[in-house]
Amino acid sequence: MRIAWGISGAGHLLKESIEVMETLSGKHEVKVFLSRAGEEVARMYGVLEQIGDFPIVRESKQGFAFPPCGAFNLKRFDVFVISPATSNTVAKIRLGIADSLLSCCASQALKSKVPLILVPTDSKHIVETRAPNGQVFMIYPRKVDLEHLEALRDEGVIILEHPKEVPRTLEAAKEGVRRVIKLD
């Protein structure tokens, strides 16, 4: 499969997402779409070099129109995964805003019927996470964050709790289980 993998500016589930990307790259083509914040946060968590091993589109090298998003209109990818997905990027996608690399790619993917999988950082009422220095702390996502996820689910977007669920979701899609990934 040709997988476009978006990484937004989230520390939560970042290392876990990269682990899954590395596993998938053995069997699939994986291209990374890295938000500007994603680049900064990955540097803080010490994983930017690891991400740089993949073919990559960096928002920091883009202007305002994001030409690489056209690849979704031209069906150059079979699926678009954003993991981890910040509450910022999720909100933009839900509301139809397309003014950042990832929200623009997601918008084009949805408008071109390319399946979209999101692994949001704010997916439940309480999330335990880790700062770059290793300190553990809790975040309490807002009602609006959770409402965005429900609305996106209703639109056919696949919402997963953890990146480790991505491979079996892709596998199911490949086998034509259209109720797992709504292709039409």
Ligand X SMILES: Cc1cc2nc3c(=O)[nH]c(=O)nc-3n(C[C@H](O)[C@H](O)[C@H](O)COP(=O)(O)O)c2cc1C
Site residues, ligand X (CB under 6 A): 8-12, 35, 37-38, 41, 44, 86-89, 100, 102, 121-122, 132
Residue 142, both tokens: 């807002």
CA dist., res. 48 & res. 117, Å (int): 22
Shortest reach from residue 7's CB to ligand X, in Å: 8
Cβ closest to ligand X, residue 78 vs residue 145: 145
CA dist., res. 56 & res. 49, Å (int): 12
Cβ closest to ligand X, residue 9 vs residue 115: 9
Shortest reach from residue 35's CB to ligand X, in Å: 3
Comparing every residue's Cβ against ligand X, the nearest one is: 9
Cβ closest to ligand X, residue 60 vs residue 73: 60
Given its phi and psi angles, is residue 94 left (phi above 0), alpha (psi -120 to 50 degrees) or beta?
Answer: alpha
Q: Which of 78, 69, 71 is nearest to 28 (CA)?
A: 78
Shortest reach from residue 174's CB to ligand X, in Å: 28
Residue position matching structure tokens 């509450």? 87
Residue 64, both tokens: 């305002």
Cβ closest to ligand X, residue 31 vs residue 78: 31
Cβ closest to ligand X, residue 44 vs residue 172: 44
Give the amino acid at 108. Answer: Q
Shortest reach from residue 132's CB to ligand X, in Å: 5
CA dist., res. 91 & res. 96, Å (int): 9
Torsion of CA 73, 79, 80, 85, to 10 degrees: 150
R_g (Cα) of the chain, nearest Å: 15
Shortest reach from residue 112's CB to ligand X, in Å: 21
